Amino acid sequence: MDDRQFRTAMGKFATGVTVIATDVDGDVHGMTANAFMSVSLSPKLVVISIGHKARILEKIKQSKSFSVNILAADQQELSIIFAGQIKGHREVLFDRLDDKPVLAGAVAQMACEVSAEYLEGDHTLFIGKVTDIQLTDADPLIFYSGRYRALSNENPVTI
C-alpha cells in the first residue's frame, strides 16, 4: 500500500469542511481541516487532527483553545484561503464566540478549550471541550475525492 492509495481511500469518506481558528495574543490564525469529529456528549468533546508541518499546531499548543467553523456551501473561497491555496494575504474578519475567533456565516461555530493532546504519527490530535455553539440555517460545503461538492436533493435515498 503506497501513500497515494491511502490518500485515495481516505478521500472516499465524504466530509464537511471546517476552518479551525485560534488566537495567540490577539493574532488570529486559521486553517482548513476536514479531520474533525464528535467524541463525547457528556462532557461535550470534539477532536481535530493537525499535521506536524502546520503553523497552527504550535499556536493551538500556546493558546490551549480553538474554534471549529463548519463551512456553508457558499464559503468555498474561505476553505481555499485557509488551505493556503490562494497566493497572497486576504483580509478575513472574525467574530467572537466565548472569546474565540469564529467565521460569520458558518453552518456551525464551536468554541473549544483543549482538554488533551496526543501525538500520533505525523499528526497531533487535539481533544476540545466545547464551551459554546452558534448555528446558522444553511447547507454545508462537502469535500469528496479531492473535490468540493454541494448537497443535492435530486436523488434522495428513501429508507
Positions that interact with ligand FAD (CB under 6 A): 17, 28-35, 49-51, 54-56, 79, 81-84, 89-90, 92, 143
Q: Minimal distance in Å, beta carbon 79 to ligand FAD?
A: 6
Spatial CA neighbour of 70 closest among 130, 155, 7: 130
Who's near 22: CB < 8 A, 6+ residues apart? 28, 29, 56, 59, 60, 63, 65, 66, 67, 100, 101
- Residue 29 or 156: the one with the smaller Cβ distance to ligand FAD is 29
Q: Minimal distance in Å, beta carbon 132 to ligand FAD?
A: 20
Q: Minimal distance in Å, beta carbon 55 to ligand FAD?
A: 4
Distance, CA of 21 to CA of 31 (rounded, Å): 6
- Residue 90 or 116: the one with the smaller Cβ distance to ligand FAD is 90
- Residue 40 or 90: the one with the smaller Cβ distance to ligand FAD is 90
Assess contact for 120 and 147: CB atoms under 8 A: no
Distance, CA of 113 to CA of 126 (rounded, Å): 10
- Residue 66 or 130: the one with the smaller Cβ distance to ligand FAD is 66
How many CB atoms are located within 10 Å of the residue 43 CB? Answer: 9
Q: Minimal distance in Å, beta carbon 16 to ligand FAD?
A: 9
